């Protein structure tokens, strides 16, 4: 039997999971500190679970791999962002 729903689910790649540790970012409540870190400048590399906020230049981290179309929230500047891919790198664009 060829079930289209089962085939569609098997085609979706599972997202990688990441273990987040606190990075010393103290501009948000303690509960949320592991989801943010400071941008270290031009030599800083972003992981698959990180995206840079273009408003306040804080790196937003996720416990799962980020993909284009995902929505993230930057608590320090209170911006809602959408993840897009540009030149092979994930970048956040401001929704509002």
The answer to whether residue 3 is domain-embedded is no
Look at residues 71, 70, 44 and name the one whose alpha carbon lies nearest to residue 57: 44
Which tens digits make up the pLDDT trace of 7-64?
A: 555 556 788 999 999 988 999 999 999 999 999 988 888 899 999 999 999 999 999 9
The answer to whether residue 47 is domain-embedded is yes
- The DSSP secondary-structure symbol of 13 reads P
Look at residues 25, 46, 45 and name the one whose alpha carbon lies nearest to residue 35: 25
- The DSSP secondary-structure symbol of 64 reads B
Which tens digits make up the pLDDT trace of 54-96?
A: 999 999 999 999 999 999 999 999 999 999 988 877 889 999 8
The answer to whether residue 82 is domain-embedded is yes
Q: Is 3 helix (H, G, I), strand (E, B) or coil?
A: coil
* CB distance 49 to 62 below 8 Å: yes
The answer to whether residue 7 is domain-embedded is no
CA distance 19 to 52: 19
The answer to whether residue 1 is domain-embedded is no
The answer to whether residue 24 is domain-embedded is yes
How many separate domains does the chain show? 1
Supply the range of the domain harboring residue 46: 15-94
Is the pTM for the entire model greater than 0.75?
Answer: yes
pLDDT of the residue at 5: 52
pLDDT of the residue at 1: 46
């Amino acid at each position: 039997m060829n079930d289209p729903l089962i085939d569609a689910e098997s085609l979706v790649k599972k997202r990688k999971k990441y273990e987040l540790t606190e990075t010393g970012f103290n501009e948000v409540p303690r509960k949320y500190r592991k989801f943010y870190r400071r941008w270290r400048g031009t030599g800083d590399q972003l992981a698959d679970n990180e995206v840079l906020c273009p408003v306040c230049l804080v790196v937003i981290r996720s416990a799962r791999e980020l993909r284009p179309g995902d929505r993230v929230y930057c608590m320090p500047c209170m911006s809602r962002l959408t993840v897009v891919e540009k030149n092979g790198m994930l970048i956040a664009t401001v929704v509002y």
